[in-house]
Amino acid sequence: MTTIVTRTVDERAVRQLAGLVHPALQRIFAARQVCSEAELDPALEHLHRPAALLGIERAVRLLHQALEQQQRILVVGDFDADGATSSALVVGALRDFGAAEVDYLVPNRFEYGYGLTPEIVAVAARRSPQLIITVDNGISSCDGVAAARQRGIPVLVTDHHLPGSALPEAAAIVNPNQPGDTFPSKALAGVGVAFYLMMALRAGLQSSGWFAARDRARPNLAKYLDLVALGTVADLVPLDRNNRILVQQGLRRIRAGHGRPGIRALLEVAGRNTRRVVAADFGFAAGPRLNAAGRLDDMSLGIECLLCEDPQRALDLAQRLDALNRERREIEADMKQQALRALEALQLGEAPLPAGLCLYDAAWHQGVIGILASRIKEQFHRPVIAFARAGDNALKGSARSIPGLHIRDTLDAIAARHPQLLQKFGGHAMAAGLSLAESDLKAFRSAFEDELSTRLDGRSLHGVLESDGQLGEDDLALEFSELLRDAGPWGQGFPEPLFDGEFIVLAQRIVGKDHLKLSLRPLAGTRTLDAIAFNQAAQAPHTGQRLRLAYRLDSNEYRGALSVQLVVEHFEALND
């Protein structure tokens, strides 16, 4: 069951925006707690200062020393888009600064799992690094950091994930979510943390005369903002003001033709126009293709695409990533059908579905369970953990949550009550990963349901779509759609405007496998509008039916021409 509700808006905030933006945007921004001209300014000068990050001075000294001594530096990343963009950014920036030897290593998720484990330290040691830098991981890698120290290799941890009860004994840690950190934004992605560290390092090198002494121009770190934008959006961190500035600046570089060849190629193979790129294109086009490498193969392919300076080779790499993404979609579709059949069997009984779903099939692909959990969560609106075999009686799980449930804290509570149940876990409020013994799955499922019974009520399990209200017929036009498009970036925590209204179906047909193409007319209007409802063909309405829609306004580009289109998130029939 899904309910459409209208967002609450502070009328005083609306009045504060009067004269600054379009009247409809006043209410939209006010509903997202933006109520001043300053908050609408995306200039880089409004970013929070790097000095507020705990440990950043120590990290800069460590890196400065590594550069002075021409040490061999190894960046150890993660196998998702945030990890890939973080790795490419740090490798590229350090090379720009004059590092003699800097390379990267990404653990293969199927062999080593996540983070700086002792096993991946052993692999790293074969390259004889004199400094290891973790990006988008490391805050929970106590054993891995200890293993590196035993080998005489200092570790600089850069991460954004929530720490556990103990911190690794690293040479330096930069993470806005570590205890005692006063950095104003806790929403930085891993690539955002990496960017801040490189900004601080550049400032330190500049003040020490590093660049002048080597007759080297001070690198312009703005060229890395496209990486920051991609990783930030793809990792689904909240787009607070600081992150919106980073994303907007990255988008502007790409639109102006200054994006790196790899990102342009990823957008091109996805059929996106780089001159009109928006944040959603990172989340639904470039990000999934980059992630496909880490899900099915080796994220090194994605990092090489991001680092590549040659447009043709970048396109070749992007096409390989696109092929992997198509394979991932096929695997995902099969897994989703298996999951739905299992849930249908559960629903045949009289008992309702549990508040949280733990799904497992011995044949499921470990690299795709995160997407599966997301899809099932969206359909049934309850927290979902999908598991896959990881060998040696071990299961790896990927969890996705709903508003109101902090999934990482939920796992932490389960671990406290059942100390031997979880082998390891970590993550965010809305997504987490965990490992447990296959023989413990039944016990974990029971513990999960018990914990959710104290954290969720029945209302939490009903889908709610927050609407920005109804639009007049004059606003159902390309001009307003373009206005909304330019008002972003929209994303996690700063949602793209959603509207609701009543329409009559003039025509409908199925396109692709299960998408609905609709021709609609507002009940109180005369304009005919095109609409698309993705993955909703099973609920196709009939011609002449009256519907209530929750929709986004989109500028659809086809053969170079733009037209307004409604993207239908939800529809329900009205009584005739």
- Count other C-beta atoms under 10 Å from residue 412's C-beta: 19
**Is residue 576 scored above 70 in pLDDT?**
no
What pLDDT is recorded for position 343?
Answer: 87
Per the structure, the count of domains in the chain is 3
In a shared domain, residues 524 and 449: no
Q: In Å, how far are 269, 509, 512, 523 from 505, measured between CA atoms?
A: 34, 11, 20, 10
**Exposure class string for 83-109: b at 16+ Cβ within 10 A, else e:** bbbbbbbbbbbbebbebebbebbbbeb
Structural domain ending residue among the three candidates 407, 428, 461: 461
d(CA 393, CA 446): 19
In a shared domain, residues 113 and 241: yes
Closest CA to 140 of 424, 331, 374: 424
pTM: 0.92
- What 3 state SS string does 487-517 have? CCCCECCECCCCEEEEEEEEEEEEECCCEEE
546 falls within a domain: yes
Q: Quickly list DSSP for 256-303.
A: TT-S-HHHHHHHHHTT--GGG--HHHIIIIIHHHHHHHHHHS-THHHH
Closest CA to 294 of 129, 127, 488, 112: 112
Residue 166 · residue 181 · CB < 8 Å = no
| Side chain identity, residue 244 | R
Of the ranges 137-146, 295-304, 497-506, 534-543, which one carries the lowest mean pLDDT score?
534-543
In a shared domain, residues 386 and 527: no
Closest CA to 104 of 74, 81, 148: 74
In a shared domain, residues 103 and 150: yes
**Is residue 351 scored above 70 in pLDDT?**
no
Q: Which domain holds residue 369?
A: 352-461
In a shared domain, residues 470 and 457: no
What pLDDT is recorded for position 349?
Answer: 58
Rg from Cα positions in the chain: 24
Q: Residue 474: CB partners within 8 Å, gap ≥ 6?
A: none
What is residue 119's three-state secondary structure? helix
Residue 527 · residue 471 · CB < 8 Å = no
Q: What is the pLDDT of residues 300-335, one digit of tens each?
A: 999 999 999 999 999 999 999 999 999 999 999 999
What pLDDT is recorded for position 347?
Answer: 66
272 falls within a domain: yes
What pLDDT is recorded for position 427?
Answer: 81
Closest CA to 283 of 298, 300, 266: 266
41 falls within a domain: no
Q: What is the pLDDT of residues 411-445, one digit of tens each?
A: 999 999 999 999 988 888 888 999 999 999 999 99
Confidence of residue 448 (pLDDT cuts 50, 70, 90): very high
CA 401 to chain centre: 14
Residue 69 · residue 53 · CB < 8 Å = no
Give mean pLDDT, residues 98-123. 90
Residue 330 · residue 296 · CB < 8 Å = no
d(CA 88, CA 263): 12
CATH number of the domain bearing residue 202: 3.90.1640.30
Strands (E), 23-154: 72-76, 101-105, 131-135
In a shared domain, residues 223 and 101: yes
Phi and psi, residue 372, nearest 5°: -60, -45
Q: What is the pLDDT of residues 486-533, one digit of tens each?
A: 999 999 999 999 999 999 999 999 998 789 999 999 998 899 999 999
CATH number of the domain bearing residue 536: 2.40.50.460
Closest CA to 183 of 315, 295, 51: 51
Q: What is the pLDDT of residues 6-57, one digit of tens each?
A: 999 999 999 999 989 988 899 999 999 998 888 999 999 999 999 999 999 9
In a shared domain, residues 450 and 519: no
In the block, residue with structure tokens 């991460």:
159
**Is residue 346 scored above 80 in pLDDT?**
no
Residue 154 · residue 132 · CB < 8 Å = yes
**Exposure class string for 258-297: b at 16+ Cβ within 10 A, else e:** ebbbbbbbbbbbbebebeebbbbbbbebbbbbbbbbbbbb
What pLDDT is recorded for position 241?
Answer: 96
Q: Quickly list DSSP for 123-166.
A: HHHTT--SEEEEES--TT-HHHHHHHHHTT--EEEE--SPP-SS
CATH number of the domain bearing residue 423: 3.10.310.30
Burial class of 519 by CB neighbour count within 10 A (0 to 12, 13 to 18, 19+): middle
What pLDDT is recorded for position 458?
Answer: 75
407 falls within a domain: yes
In a shared domain, residues 133 and 109: yes
Q: What is the pLDDT of residues 355-414, one digit of tens each?
A: 999 999 999 999 999 999 999 999 899 999 999 999 888 999 999 999 889 999 999 999
Give the largest Cα separation in the chain, rounded.
Answer: 79
In a shared domain, residues 75 and 222: yes
What pLDDT is recorded for position 223?
Answer: 97
Q: CA 517, 518, 519, 522 torsion: positive or negative?
A: negative
Closest CA to 302 of 108, 488, 456, 110: 108
Q: Residue 357: in which H helix or E strand, if any?
A: strand 357-360
Structural domain ending residue among the three candidates 436, 461, 486: 461
326 falls within a domain: no
Q: CA 58, 303, 391, 383 torsion: positive or negative?
A: positive
Give mean pLDDT, residues 260-288. 96
501 falls within a domain: yes
Residues 297, 310, 126: CA angle, nearest 5 degrees? 45
CA atoms within 13 A on the CB side of 179: 6
256 falls within a domain: yes
In a shared domain, residues 457 and 484: no
CA 435 to chain centre: 22
| Side chain identity, residue 504 | I
Q: What is the pLDDT of residues 152-167, one digit of tens each?
A: 999 999 999 989 889 9
In a shared domain, residues 405 and 300: no
Give mean pLDDT, residues 192-221. 96
Confidence of residue 463 (pLDDT cuts 50, 70, 90): confident
10 falls within a domain: no
Mean pLDDT of the chain: 93
Structural domain ending residue among the three candidates 461, 488, 516: 461
Q: Residue 104: CB partners within 8 Å, gap ≥ 6?
A: 74, 75, 76, 77, 87, 90, 91, 300, 303
In a shared domain, residues 550 and 568: yes
- Count other C-beta atoms under 10 Å from residue 165's C-beta: 9
What pLDDT is recorded for position 460?
Answer: 81
Give mean pLDDT, residues 186-198. 97
